[in-house]
């Protein structure tokens, strides 16, 4: 009987261990995540290889465009890591969070040392720890995008000349990696590194829009992806793309020049109340100090600040053109 119980216990234990091995080991060891990652590496290429021979060129182009539009739509919902990458920083999320905490702690300490009220300390501390870092990321990303779009047509011309000289597309991209300035060099290096791990070159070029969310980057990814799937004269297509990029660049400069007068007027209108307040304080300080010494004055200042901010946002919306 004892031997029977021991055998049953052993068999039950082996069965439980087998079930745990089948269901828990892939999760604990990371095999399931690795399988999902391998499955998502090149789904576009697998679908194209399975269905490409039975579809016409027009259907392949339409399928490529729909897939790229879906990818670009998803690229608009970005995480913090993508924002840091777009800003050109090589920071980890932990370093960014520590920087935000340090800025908040420093601002709170300085405000507390100067005797500010608790609401002011909390408001400015929150702005310094959250608002300022996010604004800095947007500023750096915008500046990097402007630098990229300034040099991107030259990089496309390099690819065109390389293809006409007989170089493969990947070798032409490597020329850009070796000779072009930043940030074009880093972005095309990312394309080469992505292709090196097994992702098709068309899909690797399509991922450029995820790091640089510009229409020009999307155009480049679309041209390469369509050529990789359906063939065609790549040098001619990229040459046309280069001309389009340069024409867009000229149009953008023309729009900026034509809107500078409106931007100058908006800046003057926005700064005029602050300038008048400063002049009144210099000439008649007792007259304007009522705004800072009475509760009604505080309310009037807060209302004026809100209305001024609304006016600035409206003027900014009117003079900024989406191009």
The set of long-range contacts for 257-261, using a CB threshold of 8 Å and a minimum separation of 24, is: 259/319, 259/321
Q: Give the separation between CA 46 and CA 84, rounded to whole angstroms.
A: 32
pTM > 0.75:
no
DSSP string, 259-319: HHHHHHHHHHHHHHHHHHHHHHHHH-HHHHTHHHHSHHHHHHHHHHHHHHHHHHHHHHHHH
Residue 293: the pLDDT is: 82
What's the pLDDT score for residue 45? 44
Cβ-contact 86, 212 below 8 angstroms: yes
pLDDT of residue 216: 84
Cα-Cα-Cα-Cα dihedral sign, residues 116, 117, 118, 123: negative
CA distance 47 to 55: 12
- pLDDT score of 56: 58
Which conformational region is residue 96 in: left (phi greater than 0), alpha (psi within -120 to 50 degrees), or beta?
alpha
Which residue in 305, 321, 315 sits closest to 264, CA to CA? 315
Residue 78, helix vs strand vs coil: coil
Whole-angstrom CA distances from 142 to 92, 211, 214, 257 are: 20, 12, 10, 19
Label residues 14-36 b or e (16+ Cβ within 10 Å = b). Answer: eeeeeeeeeeeeeeeeeeeeeee
Question: Residue 217 has what pLDDT?
Answer: 87
Q: How many residues does the chain have?
A: 323
In angstroms, the CA 269 to CA 264 distance is: 9
- The one-digit pLDDT tens for each residue of the chain (323 residues) are 455 555 555 555 655 555 555 555 555 555 555 555 555 544 444 444 444 444 555 565 556 556 656 665 655 667 888 888 888 888 888 899 999 999 989 988 888 888 777 887 888 888 888 889 999 999 999 999 989 988 898 889 999 998 888 888 888 888 998 888 888 999 999 998 888 888 888 888 888 888 888 888 888 888 888 887 777 788 888 888 888 888 888 888 888 888 888 888 888 888 888 888 888 888 888 888 888 888 888 888 888 888 888 888 888 787 776 65
The answer to whether residues 216 and 247 touch, using CB atoms and an 8 Å cutoff, is no
| SS3 state of residue 175 | helix
Which pLDDT score is estimated for 52? 45
For residues 164 and 240, give the distance between their C-alpha atoms in angstroms, rounded to a whole number.
14
What does the pLDDT read at residue 102? 92
């Amino acid at each position: 009987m004892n031997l029977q119980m021991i055998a049953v216990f052993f068999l039950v234990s082996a069965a439980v261990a087998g079930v745990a091995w089948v269901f828990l080991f892939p999760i604990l060891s990371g095999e399931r995540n690795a399988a999902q990652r391998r499955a998502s590496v090149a789904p576009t290429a697998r679908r194209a290889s399975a269905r490409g021979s039975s579809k016409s060129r027009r259907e392949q182009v339409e399928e490529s465009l729909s897939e790229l539009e879906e990818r670009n739509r998803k690229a608009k919902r970005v995480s913090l890591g993508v924002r840091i990458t777009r800003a050109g920083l090589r920071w980890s999320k932990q370093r960014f969070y520590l920087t935000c905490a340090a800025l908040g702690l420093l601002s709170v300490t300085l405000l507390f040392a100067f005797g500010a009220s608790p609401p002011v300390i909390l408001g400015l501390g929150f702005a310094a720890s959250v608002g300022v870092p996010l604004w800095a990321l947007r500023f750096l990303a915008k500046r990097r995008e402007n630098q990229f779009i300034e040099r991107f047509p030259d990089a496309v011309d390099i690819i065109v000349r390389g293809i006409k000289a007989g170089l493969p597309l990947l070798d032409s991209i490597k020329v850009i990696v070796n000779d072009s300035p930043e940030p074009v060099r880093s972005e095309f290096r990312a394309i080469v590194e992505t292709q090196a791990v097994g992702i098709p070159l068309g899909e690797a070029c399509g991922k450029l829009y995820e790091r640089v969310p510009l229409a020009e980057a999307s155009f480049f990814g679309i041209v390469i992806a369509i050529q990789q799937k359906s063939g065609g004269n790549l040098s001619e297509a990229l040459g046309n793309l280069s001309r389009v990029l340069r024409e867009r660049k000229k149009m953008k400069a023309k729009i900026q020049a034509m809107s500078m007068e409106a931007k100058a007027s908006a800046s003057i209108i926005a700064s005029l109340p602050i300038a008048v307040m400063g002049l009144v304080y210099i000439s008649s300080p007792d007259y304007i100090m009522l705004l800072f010494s009475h509760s009604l004055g505080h309310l009037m200042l807060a209302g004026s600040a809100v209305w001024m901010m609304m006016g600035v946002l409206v003027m900014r919306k009117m003079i900024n053109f989406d191009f």
